[in-house]
Homo-oligomer: A and B are copies of this chain.
């Protein structure tokens, strides 16, 4: 069944009114009809099954016929602190990260970033990519996208279990960190991934001073966008959140 994140005020008791993009999608792209069912999500964690009863140009009305708590959210809340990357790579990270189960994205600018801060148009595009990925993959909550931070601001804001992927780290492997205390059972997890050129030692030192642990992903050199997803998969797999 098709899923749509909507503003919570579109649902009033058991009546629903949809306008804007969801109405356009339902009428012109999916060509649904009265009596068809959809799932609405108001980002509270609840899922509302709705039967469409009236359709007019730009407005769809329906009624809630069932309500249940979503079961697809990982129990561990992963925040991906991702350095700005070239456009298609950053969008790739957002899309795949949402599918896999990331809860929050914090874009940041670090010394070796070669990409400028996104403007409002790009941010709107990013939010759209995230929402589509959340709807398509069956998420019950829409992951958050924070404003672009500096690297230091990002480090300062990371509390609890936090790692930074560093290609020059030789001793501490991801699995040793994920399987040992205190990370093993942490309900939240922060992952820092650098830009294409990686982190300079001074940034790694600053991160360490904030309690963020540099770890290695092994022998092969992964591109920035591959590394981020690999860590997210490994973490969710370790916590039995990926089958």
* A81-101 vs B, Cβ < 8 Å mask (1 yes, 0 no): 000000000000000100111
Query: In whole angstroms, how far apart are the Cα atoms of A88 and B174 in the complex?
Result: 30
Q: Is A223 interfacial (CB-CB < 8 Å)? A: yes
* A205-243 vs B, Cβ < 8 Å mask (1 yes, 0 no): 000000000011111111100100110011011101111
Chain B residues whose CB sits within 8 angstroms of the CB of A99 once the complex forms: 220-223, 226
B226 and A242 contacting across the interface, CB-CB below 8 Å:
no
Chain B residues whose CB sits within 8 angstroms of the CB of A219 once the complex forms: 71-72, 138, 241
- Selected from B137, B173, B234, the residue in CB contact (under 8 A) with A221 is B137
CB of A220, distance to nearest CB on chain B (Å): 5
> Which residues in A have some Cβ–Cβ distance to B below 8 Å?
71-72, 96, 99-101, 136-139, 173-175, 215-223, 226, 229-230, 233-234, 236-238, 240-243
Given A219-B241, A233-B237, 17 other A-B contacts at CB below 8 A?
A72-B220, A99-B220, A100-B222, A100-B226, A137-B223, A175-B240, A175-B243, A215-B243, A216-B243, A217-B242, A218-B242, A218-B243, A229-B229, A230-B242, A233-B234, A234-B234, A237-B237
